[in-house]
Chain A
């Protein structure tokens, strides 16, 4: 069942929209308070190029000091923290030319997923399968490699085709016949194998050796999975509608 959808409907029916909005972070909150409210947002700081040590500055102040679009930063924070939140069309339109910051954010996220998270998971997998039979070790390794290649391909398509296309239209280049609609239709799902890996480690990898390490791997996979699902949500529900709008605007010129 579509939990997100039904919750949105309910809040509309019950006129609870205001209540929901009051749970959203705002520009005048102290950034430190935002992080205290949801520490998973720490992950976003680096992707936006924001450093720690921001004292008692508000979200707006920190963003301005770092030339980060505050509406964009808040939008992403709220998507991460609030299951029921999706920005309205108007809010998305307001991002406008800051789409380049959104692209930079997405690229930084790709880099983080591949070079930090997946790298760690791969190393941990080697460790937990160290005592397994040789062919079990081998098949786990093959499986993870296949998954990693799938993710690399997925990100590479976005970085080599989709993002340059978006930068192109921002600079008035509409020469190719690519359209964001094509991305929308082909945006593939990369969570199946990650989900499979969870079950393989949790349910099917025999032996009780290194169970602490296994639990750590599972934590890592669950949190990567959650992060990736927000990442796809941002691409599907923010990037694509935004670029559609930009296509209309810049196509007319």
Chain B
């Protein structure tokens, strides 16, 4: 986390001068950000960007060749300490956007942009979610079983000695990992994976 007098160094990679100039103006209206370079594309400048040691790189994803869009980390290998922010005003495959810490939309106002830039720094510093990001943890499996049995958040919290807030966080993670939102869908998941017996749910 930055102290109050530090400003974040930003590199903008955007081919349209109208847009990059406008974005720069919006960002520099805030004293906690400083744009150290505006570039039209990223290929010839990787060295240079590296040297500038930015905290945040704002990239128009369409400047990255399609086959490299999903492997951004290779492109910016030396810059693991920079948050990557996509600037979007054309259609970009959702998969490609997952590579970024956050996404700025062309219609966002100055406050929203500043807020998103700060979020991207937080996302960069957030601890990784463990090695198996998509595997349910043992705890999550237990919660899922309770959900599948039709228990409500409060009951689950009491049973597992955790807060309702924690139950909700587990639920969100379960939904994200399994791709299943409804309780009955989770029940099907639990039975197909032999986490519970069908007789326990009827």
Interface of A with B (CB < 8 Å)? Answer: 1, 3, 5-7, 9-10, 13, 135-136, 138-140, 142-143, 146-147, 192-193, 195-197, 199-200, 203-206
Contacts and interface: CB of A to CB of B under 8 A. Distances in A.
B193 interface: yes
Nearest to A14: B89
Contact of A139 (B106, B178, B191): B191
Residue with the highest number of chain A CB atoms closer than 10 Å, among B105, B184, B193: B184
A199 B103 contact: no
Contacts, number: 71
Nearest to A83: B91
Given A6-B89, A135-B198, A192-B181, A200 B107 contact: no
Nearest to B185: A196
Closest 10 CB pairs of A and B: A196-B185, A199-B179, A135-B198, A9-B107, A196-B180, A139-B191, A192-B181, A143-B188, A204-B192, A192-B182
Residue with the highest number of chain A CB atoms closer than 10 Å, among B89, B185, B187: B185
Interface string B137-165: 00000000000000000000000000000
B88 interface: yes
A13 B178 CA distance: 39
B76 interface: no
Contacts of B8: none
Contacts of A203: 178-179
Residue with the highest number of chain B CB atoms closer than 10 Å, among A6, A7, A136, A203: A6
